[in-house]
Amino acid sequence: MESAKFFSVMLLAMIKTLVSPPVGFAADMSFGMTFLAVAIGGLIGYCVFFYLFDFIMKLNSNISKKNRVKRIEKARKIINMRKKYPLWLFLFVLPLFSIPVMSFVIRKFYCHNKVIMMSCLGIIVIWSFCSCLLFYFIILLR
């Protein structure tokens, strides 16, 4: 039964890491098990969605080779977006929204930089720990 709780928190963390620690604590999981489930779920979710969006974008680029002018305009928009918003904004704010949104944005803007991908994995672990710590203290104060 304990593994079902762990797996359900992990599945929820694959989509939203900020919502999953209260579910883990409500299921009477310890801090360590909740953190482990949230961190593993976030990491797996990021990798799955990153490579899923990679596959979808490659498939889409093979289909739409005719629209060359539209693709050039789209590339210019992406370059302007990268210049307008700094990388740290994406890394620290996007895990608050959701893991699929984070993986899509990072894949779209910074797909060729492996350091950024590793940074994203580290940020997911940090956000997992911070959210577990926050909700653990809220439960202790109750």
| Per-residue pLDDT reduced to its tens digit, 24-63 | 999 989 999 999 999 999 999 999 998 888 788 777 766 5
- For 59, the domain range is 2-141
In terms of Cα–Cα distance, which of 8, 20, 2 is closest to 98? Answer: 20
Q: How many domains does the chain have?
A: 1
Among 31-35, 69-73, 97-101, 110-114, whose mean pLDDT is lowest?
69-73
Among 20-29, 40-49, 77-86, 122-131, whose mean pLDDT is lowest?
77-86
Report, as an integer, the average pLDDT of 61-74: 62
Tokens 């302007």 found at: 80
Quick check: pTM over 0.85?
Answer: no
From the CB of residue 123, how many other CB atoms can be counted at a distance below 10 Å? 20
Handedness of CA 2, 24, 118, 102 (dihedral sign): positive
